[in-house]
Structure 1
Amino acid sequence: MHLPPVGLGTMGIDDPDAIATALSVGYRHLDTARIYGNEAVVGDGLAATGVDRDAVTVATKLWVDDLGDGDVGPTARESADLLGVEALDLLYVHRPRGAYDPETTLPALDRLVDEGSVREVGVSNFEVDELDRALEVLDAPLAAHQTELHPLFYRPELLEHAREHGYAIVAYSPLAGGRVSEIDAVAEIAAARDATPEAVAIAWATAKDPVVAIPKASSERHLRANLAAADLDLTPEETAAIDAVDREEELFPE
């Protein structure tokens, strides 16, 4: 599926105006989740704009309690109702934990695709072996794998797997929880480019094929700045400098 380089992560956003503002300045990918408790907020923001519904990718995720065979369908339909959409553009397994069983969860997602309630299927926070199993079981193509990715933490093997199998990597927390300005390599590049460290971090992430990023923002200034970061092209040397940062600081471990 086509996803724009920068979308909107909505965890913690509780004001529909922030969603409406994001859409008005050009965002066309909204990412939420059952566990965030704000699907209705995202839906209200979407409904408040004149943006063509077909132009916006609306994504949500099933939490670990919603992954049983009998829970996937009803929960997905409830999410669609809260979001105010006839069909979910992208539905993820949030984590392969709890009630997740590839032999029952994934066929339930396939049934939603077959009936038109879901357009594309994704997974989130999977390991390579879990991705391989999902690809074996799913009838629908795997559209995306959402994973934590920022200058302090990323896993090249996940990017390689995505390239090999033709799905997108959706990078969450690309701003390292607000810490990118503390990373020397990022700050130095930002100063040299007259850009913000946040823009540099997003540009670094989205330069890694097939990565798109979903930074969270709520003010119009930050929304515009994050969206514009897709136009910042880093040199190979700048990219390598950020690649060389000491990392392994995962914000959302199991």
Structure 2
Amino acid sequence: MDIDGVLLPERARFLPGQRMDTPYLCAPQYADPEWPLSTDGRSKWCPVQRKLDPACVSLLRRLVELSGARLVASTSWRTHPAAGKARIENALVEAGFDPRPHWHERWSTPKTFGGARGREINLWLEEAGEVDRWVALDDERELPAPGGLVVNPADGLGLQAYGAALALLDVDDPELAGVGGWPLWTSYGDRGAVRRWLDRAFARGPDSDREIARAVPELIRATDYSPWRHANGPSGF
């Protein structure tokens, strides 16, 4: 789960009372006692004050509650001295979602030199062991297959990415008609075939079909055509 661009899209700057400022350093005499001290020991970090987009957070909450998925933070907030886990929790609670019962025991991706998001997600998956289904919501382009979903940073987590995440996690939303919120093309043919296709794409190890895994991020988000005749589509399963 990323925050900037996903739960804090550009449109969130228009929320009442929003502060889109970058966390900054200030002299200790102007800081609250609980604010974190900087590495130089002479100043303190002003904490993140930004409000998350409640619509984006509501979709995240619904996705987690319907699927039973566990939350893992990949956002830069997880390691910033002015943010961290407590500030992430506070921001989500303020937007209407208490994440505390839903954290994975390994609640954040590892930090790497350069902060390449896709590599950090892959490292987490390798260290976590067997994970049947997963979704990485981010506004960065270089995300691992098959669960990486690129979110439009202007609007954040919306219905299209939400529907793709539902399909990737193999869960329906009873409030959404038709295919339970899944992308439109999944209404064509056999939904069981789509599930088998995704199961194979998520399979790990030497028998994993990388071509199918690479096809998922593109096809799962499609809303205007059916991939049933696509070479890497689900029709062969």
Q: Give your verdict on TM over 0.5.
A: no
Q: Which has the larger radius of gyration?
A: 2
**Is the helix fraction higher in 1 or 2?**
1
Q: TM-score, length-normalised on structure 1?
A: 0.30
- What is the TM-score normalised by the length of structure 2? 0.32
